[in-house]
Structure 1
Amino acid sequence: MNLLEYQKGLENREIKPLNIVQSEDEYVLKTFTDKLSSLYEVKLLWGDELERKSFFSMLTEGEMFTRKKKVFVVKKGEEFLKSVKDGAYFVSLAKKLNKVSVFFVISEKINKSQLEKEPLKTILSIGDFLEAKSPDKRKVRELVKSRFVKEGRDIDESALEYLLEITSYNLVELKNEVDKLLLYKEGKITLEDVKSVCFSSAEYTIFDFINAFYTKDMEKSLVYLSSLLKSGISPLQIQAILINYSIRLFVASTSARDQTDKDKIFTELSLNNPYLRHSFKIYMEKFTAMEVKNLILKLHTLDIAEKVYFADPQESLKNFVIEYLRYAGS
């Protein structure tokens, strides 16, 4: 069964104790795991780290103290299954599991003859065989288009087609690139925007510069900025992203007290991408709330200098980066 179909109505489905997932698409698998996590207590394990003797106790640890069903997702499941080829072991294991289910995720392609060999043959007599297949191109296009609509943004058809082609319709890559585009600028997204942000003709991308700036690396910031400006990226667009990041960083720095707070604030700030969350945690360690406040004021001053007093945007932005990072590093 296709994993996308399996997860429909998952809350009403009786999940079998042992199951096999053949993973062809990491994004589909992640979507499934997220769905599981919204319903049950989910724990991720790695097959190459598991041992036959301790596996059962690991699955049932704390079982008598919880009423919620527990689900274990075992990545690199093939490694554990190779070490335990005894079908009787899995029959015995399934009988002992009460409020626990296991999904063994196998990244290798499985053919029909392999399904008829142990231990897969026995496991599939107990549980389900699910395939995390990539959606067809038409479905992927609809998913990407709906993401822009959900965010209240419009994208040119030529830009959308180009984005799909350069990512080869890979949902994991598409999610990252769409997140970048949504942060890049306001208004309609054009083909030029996609080329600039996703696969820029510059040696570096705008997000290389952003990461260098918010980790206070002046040398890299200037190298990346120079490359971007030479490739034709507008300094005003770069400033817009700096302002966007700075405001979010200030809100996060002044609102979050602990890790739980951080995750809640990140969600409220639409920082849902794992890479962005990780980056912002690093930025929060590099910048104090007072430094970020000062940064916002200086960016505001820079904006006035350019728009009111007609200061040259390229030179002004370069000077701003040098002066601010010199101040921040002192």
Structure 2
Amino acid sequence: MSSIDYLTMHKEIKAGQTAPLYVFYGSEAFLMEKMTNLIVKQTLKEEERDFQFISYDMRETSVETGVEEAETLPFFGSNKVVLLQHCYFLTGVREKEKVEHNLKALEAYCQNPAAETVLILSVPADKLDERKKIVKALKKEGKVLQAGAPDQKSMEKWIDSQFKQKKQSIDPEAKTELMKRAGFNLNMLSNETDKLALYASEGEVVNRKDIEALTPVTLEDNVFTLVDRVISQRTDEALRIYYDLLKQKEEPIKILALLARQTRMIIHVLYLKKQGYSRQKMAGQLKLHPYAVKIAEEQGRNYNEAILENSLKELASADFDIKTGQMDKEMRLELSIITLSKHQYFSA
């Protein structure tokens, strides 16, 4: 067997095609948890789950114990699911584990997994150590899911699938706005799609107005919009957003930090773009979601090097003035927003 994407694996398990052995790894704990819950739901009856779903933390329990549990026949019902969490022995990361792991026991299990058991190994790490014999065995005999941050196309497909399950759909403009507001957090996206699905009727198409009515705007999203208004020299609108943030009790220092972070992000994206990097490669280099790179790239079209450098200097000056008590923080940031939005180096 081999690596498989989230949507394909989800479809297989929903269709009852559950494999005896899975490996989940990556930074998206939400995806790994969601897939584990789906396997449990599809494999065990509701009354069996308290007894036949067993979880071990491999930082505290030996892998032999997990394998023995997987090999033991179910006491109640006909199947069981065993989850081995934090399997850092599959990576090159050196964790301070309290136990020694006999990986030969797991290697032997891979060759002959128990028919009644679904064994899941999960590790919150971006890479597996492909040189290790146990990793090769697991990839050969099991199904592997890399639960990393999805790219924009995968995220859109995932959102579509969420609404399709509820016999609904979402139009492209609403989908873009939802991703913008919910950010790149799949857990938040899942919560928002559930809320929107409850709001809409069966067969209905969710539109942008629904998103605006139900999905809150995050501070980060407000900062994205604030940067857009500053770039386009719409000073009044930029200040209105800033005043709204103050009414919501957002700290000027935090707003300033996010403005500086977004400016630096634009600088890095424009530099890497000049070097010929694709969005996906830029995302990997900067450890950002591709959608965040897209936003920075679009915002950077109205920038040149001079304004980027001057913007950072102005924000650094504001930070210094605030932290040294030379000027009221709310007033100082307001002055920066006015200064940046009226800057002579902005394109018309």
Name the structure with the higher helix share: 1
TM-score norm. by structure 1 comes to 0.46
TM-score norm. by structure 2 comes to 0.44
